[in-house]
Amino acid sequence: MKWLWVALLATAAILGVITGIGVLLPQSHSVTRSSHFAQPPQAVWDVITGPPTWRPGIRSFENLPPRNGHRTWKEIDAHDNAVTYEAIEETPPFRLITRIADPNLPYGGLWIHEISLEPGGCVLQITEDGEIYNPIFRFMSRFVFGYTATIDAAIQSLHARLDQRGS
């Protein structure tokens, strides 16, 4: 019984430290990643504005009615978690800004996709201007996953998709 109490107290202490550090971390962050693609800007644009099922972990999606004249959709991941997005700026095939349009999540923010023409293809730059409201998630994002993990996975998946299509 004594070991159970020790384990519970140790777990509570660890969670307290993680939460305390998370509270001290800034709620907002901004990170940018870029990658060269051998395809023209339109090929990259077509994938990033099409069905999001090319991204890992996206099981399905649903187009929703426009919001403020902007395209909106809901993505459902493999764990049945749903996130609603809104495309707040679309300038084909060079600039796309999307935002998380669900105020009930423990995170939010924008993704700014900028595609520039380059010899032999194009460069896609993705900037995440994110916010993490939950201090435990803030700690995990900063020290475990890294702020760029989602962007890095998206770029890797985009390369796999475009290389597979041969575009």
DSSP class per residue in 80-105: S-EEEEEEEEEETTTEEEEEE--TTS
**Res. 165: pLDDT tops 60:** no
Task: For each of the domains in the chain, give its residue range(s) and CATH number, in order of start.
Answer: 2-165 (3.30.530.20)
Vertex 140 angle, CA 16 and 60, to 5°:
130
Q: Which residues pair with 111 in a beta bridge?
A: 98, 128
Query: What are the tens digits of pLDDT across the range 82-91?
Result: 999 999 999 9
pLDDT at 164: 63
β-sheet with 82-91: strand ranges across? 28-37, 121-132, 107-118, 95-100, 82-91, 70-77, 58-67
Q: Please tell me the predicted confidence (pLDDT) of residue 6.
A: 84
- Token duo for residue 6: 């020790």
Cα–Cα distance, 113 to 128 (Å, whole number): 9
CA distance 112 to 87: 10
Indicate whether 167 pLDDT > 50: no
Sign of CA dihedral 153, 158, 160, 161: positive
Six-digit token string for 104: 């009930």
pLDDT digits over 51-98, tens only? 999 998 899 999 999 999 999 999 999 999 999 999 999 999 999 999
pLDDT at 166: 45
